[in-house]
Amino acid sequence: MSEQDPHKPSSEAENSGSERSARRPTIAQVATQASVSRQTVSNVINAPQRVRRDTRDRVEQVIAELDYRPLKFAQGLRTGHSNLIALGFRTAAVEQSVILDAFFHALTAETQARGYRVVLATGDDDTSEIAAYEDLLGRYDIDALVLTGTHASDPRFAWLTERQVPFVSFGRPWRAGGVHAWVDVDGASGVRHATFHLLERGHRRIAFIGWPDGPGVGEDRRSGWEQACRTTGLVMDGLLRQVEESMEQGRAAAASLLDSDDPPTAIVCVSDVVALGAWIEVTARGCEPGRDVAIVGFDDSATAAVVGLSSLMQPLAAVARACIDCLQAMLDDGDATALPTPRQILLPPHLVIRKSSS
């Protein structure tokens, strides 16, 4: 049995240190107890002249009571920021979505380029994701959060707003209420452009295969097709199909359209997954996508590029850059939750034309 290095702490000491670290008061706890924002606590510590005397006294008293000692290094010494940004997402959504995976990599690259680090807050639903936020905010001095997967009646917006946590979402509120900063891709304008592209190629019966009804991305994309049809006088009756996100259902929808009395000559799809299902059905009938039936997808996946599927590409690098721009504007403002007009940015997708619609 080897002797223990006298300069190396024992396991008991290491465990004790870990426990002390886990119990270390955070800026979020100070802010809650003093009834102020986390940014105000940072200002009291790093720029006290920016805080009213009575507020500063109250915060300093809580700091003393909790024995709060902020972690500061590098840029944090000057700004009072930890340079930690949390990314909230559903684990299953990332596993199933090429777009969210690509966004995660784009956001990581953007934050690293600006001196930030990304920590993850994951959950299976709204409740567990909010619990992950609460745990992170309790353990670390998180500067801000980036949300994904927004939906109608999204409770995360109100939860973060009530706690005065700066955040921006990749995705619009979708009737969830509240006003906050967000960045999104304009699906309606993208699908509208794709429909006009097919019209220019001579198509007059243009179908759309979308997702089931409900406020959100699917409704947004379908509205682009509807707008283009109304503007140009194209018939829509009998040319809409709504399916879940799968190639099998995309194929079945395409079969239904092609078996109708007056089949379409072109199909715009809500996603590449659905479009690839339509592609399979068209080719199984001995037809050639593009020559016999045009097909356009959405997301510009790697598979779309391989098979020659025209698709709308989301500008994910620009989305990530805009998200961090929004957060920096909040953090630099001094009171991140009091910006009079939160930035709300809608970016157009780019139509990549390949043989399926050329």
User: Rounded distance, CA 54 to CA 56, Å?
Assistant: 5
Q: Is residue 29 part of a domain?
A: no
Both 230 and 174 in one domain: the answer is no
> Across-strand partners of 351?
312
Q: Is residue 49 part of a domain?
A: no
Both 212 and 299 in one domain: the answer is yes
- Of residues 163, 214, 182, the one with CA closest to residue 27: 163
User: Rounded distance, CA 347 to CA 183, Å?
Assistant: 8
Both 278 and 254 in one domain: the answer is yes
Q: Are 260 and 207 in contact (CB under 8 A)?
A: no
Confidence of residue 94 (pLDDT cuts 50, 70, 90): low
Both 253 and 152 in one domain: the answer is no
Q: Is 20 exposed, middle or buried (0-12, 13-18, 19+ CB in 10 A)?
A: exposed
Both 115 and 126 in one domain: the answer is yes
Q: How confident is the model over 226-276, as pLDDT tens digits?
A: 999 999 999 999 999 999 999 999 999 999 999 999 999 999 999 999 999
Q: How confident is the model over 15-66, as pLDDT tens digits?
A: 433 443 445 688 888 889 999 988 888 788 877 777 898 999 999 999 989 8
For 104-150, list the strands marked E by DSSP.
117-123, 144-147
Q: Is residue 126 part of a domain?
A: yes
Contacts of 229 (CB under 8 A, 6+ apart): 195, 206, 235, 236
Q: What are phi and psi of 184, to 5 degrees?
A: -150, 165
Q: Is 61 left (phi over 0), alpha (psi -120 to 50) or beta?
A: alpha
Q: Is residue 233 part of a domain?
A: yes
> Across-strand partners of 313?
350
Given a cut of 90, is residue 347 above it in pLDDT? yes
Task: Say what the pLDDT of residue 144 is.
Answer: 93
Both 172 and 211 in one domain: the answer is no
Number of folded domains that form the chain: 2
Q: Is residue 356 part of a domain?
A: no
Both 217 and 177 in one domain: the answer is no
Q: How confident is the model over 195-207, as pLDDT tens digits?
A: 999 999 999 999 9
Task: Say what the pLDDT of residue 230 is.
Answer: 97
Q: Is residue 128 part of a domain?
A: yes
Q: Is residue 246 part of a domain?
A: yes
Both 293 and 252 in one domain: the answer is yes
Residue 257's CATH number:
3.40.50.2300
Mean pLDDT is lowest, of 78-92, 146-160, 173-187, for 78-92
- Whole-structure pTM value: 0.77
Q: Are strands 206-210 and 167-170 parallel, antiparallel or unpaired?
A: unpaired
**Domain range spanning residue 327?**
79-185+317-348
Given a cut of 80, is residue 13 above it in pLDDT? no
Contacts of 268 (CB under 8 A, 6+ apart): 191, 194, 195, 198, 206, 207, 208, 209, 225, 296
Both 128 and 201 in one domain: the answer is no
Given a cut of 90, is residue 14 above it in pLDDT? no
Q: Are 168 and 326 in contact (CB under 8 A)?
A: yes
Four-point Cα dihedral 277, 279, 281, 283, nearest 10? -150
Both 83 and 127 in one domain: the answer is yes
pLDDT: is 2 or 68 the higher one? 68
Both 235 and 119 in one domain: the answer is no
Both 155 and 245 in one domain: the answer is no
- Residue 134 CA, chain-centre distance (Å), reads 19
Place of tokens 């955070």: 26
Q: Is residue 240 part of a domain?
A: yes
